[in-house]
Amino acid sequence: MIIALLTSAALAAGFHAGIPVQGVSGLGAPTFHDASTGWSAPVLGADGQPLGVARVYVAPTTAAAAAWAEDAARAVQAPLVPLPSFGDAALANAGALVARDGNVAIAVSVSGSDPQGPARSLLAAIVDAPAAWPQAPTLRPVDGGWAIVSPGAVGWTITGGQRPLGQPDTWSELPQEIVAWDAWGRAAVMRP
């Protein structure tokens, strides 16, 4: 099956720190999902209107990135074809592109434009430093509950928990899961 190309090709490729979640040309503000899904950002046209979406997964392993890319390719209803010279492996059609470069996988879906442009921007933005994976967040007791401590995090995905109205940083009931994202789109998970 053609999707398997994403898994089989060049699994031993480089291990990257990730892609900056801010500042990639043509992308809007990031949204962070769960640790196995990655983050996404709208692909914006010259007029600032959304053309589609770019999804990024900075995986802890190359195999995990390949599996993510397979999942992304499966969700495209029209046929995909191999796209040579695009990361370690890539599949694409007129509006969708899925690619993997080492432990980084991307998927771009756009309407009315070529997905290769934003995909190239993403792959070009891959960085290899800092190499160290971010630390999992911790909790600090505060008046009325707990506060999340995650130095260097630029975003969080929090499941469950409860905050009093008007106290955005105080958790009166602990979350089930806290995912902290660093500036390169890597997730560090804490399950209190």
Partner 1 sequence: MLILLSLLLACGDKDGGDDTSSATDDTGNPGDGGGTGADGGTSGDGGGTSGDGGGTGDGGGTGDGGTEPPPDPALVGVTGGGRVLDPLRGSALSYTATVQPSSFGVLLDAVVVDGSGAVVTVLADDLAPTLDPMDPSLAALDVAWDGRSGDGVPAAPGVYTVTFTLHDGAGLTWGEQGADTFVVRTGVVAGTWGQSELEDDERVPLLWHKAAGASPYWSDAGTTAAFQLEAVSSGEGAKEVATQVPAPWDDLETPPDGWEGVNLPQAFAWDSRPTLTLSLGGDLGPSGKAVSWAASIEGWELIDGSVTSGTLVFRKAEALTDTLGVREGSLSLVLSADEQVVATQEVPYRIYALMGPATFDSDVSPHLAWVAAVDQALRGIEGVEPTDAAVLDALIEWVFTESDLRYDTRSGASYYMSYSGGWTGGRFNFRGFLDRTSGTIVNCSDCSGIAGVFANMLGVGLDYSIILSNFQLNEIKAIGVDDYTSCPFGPSGCGFSYHAVTTNDLSETIWDATLALDGDKDPGSEPWTELLVQSIPGAEYLERLVRSGRADYYYDDSRVRIQ
Residues at the site binding partner 1, with contacts judged by CB under 8 A: 28, 31, 33-34, 36-37, 40, 42-43, 49-53, 55, 67-68, 71-72, 74-79, 93-96, 107, 109, 111-112, 148, 156-163, 165-166, 168-169, 173, 175-176
Q: How far apart are CA 98 and CA 13, in angstroms?
A: 17
CB of 139 to partner 1, least distance (A): 12
**Please, which residue, 50 or 152, has the CB nearer to partner 1?**
50
Residue with tokens 């992308």: 27
**Please, which residue, 127 or 158, has the CB nearer to partner 1?**
158
**Please, which residue, 7 or 36, has the CB nearer to partner 1?**
36
H or E segment and range at residue 32: strand 31-32
**Please, which residue, 31 or 127, has the CB nearer to partner 1?**
31
In terms of Cα–Cα distance, which of 79, 36, 80 is closest to 55?
36
**Please, which residue, 11 or 158, has the CB nearer to partner 1?**
158
CB of 178 to partner 1, least distance (A): 8
CA 120: distance to chain centroid?
16
CB of 34 to partner 1, least distance (A): 6
In terms of Cα–Cα distance, which of 110, 111, 130 is closest to 120?
110
CB of 19 to partner 1, least distance (A): 17
In 10 A of CB 30, how many CB atoms?
A: 23
CB of 149 to partner 1, least distance (A): 11
Q: 182, 153 in Cβ contact below 8 A? A: yes
For the chain, the residue count is 192
User: Reading across the β-sheet that carries 177-181, which strands appear in turn?
Assistant: 155-159, 177-181, 187-190
**Please, which residue, 17 or 56, has the CB nearer to partner 1?**
56
Query: DSSP 3-state assignment of 133?
Result: coil
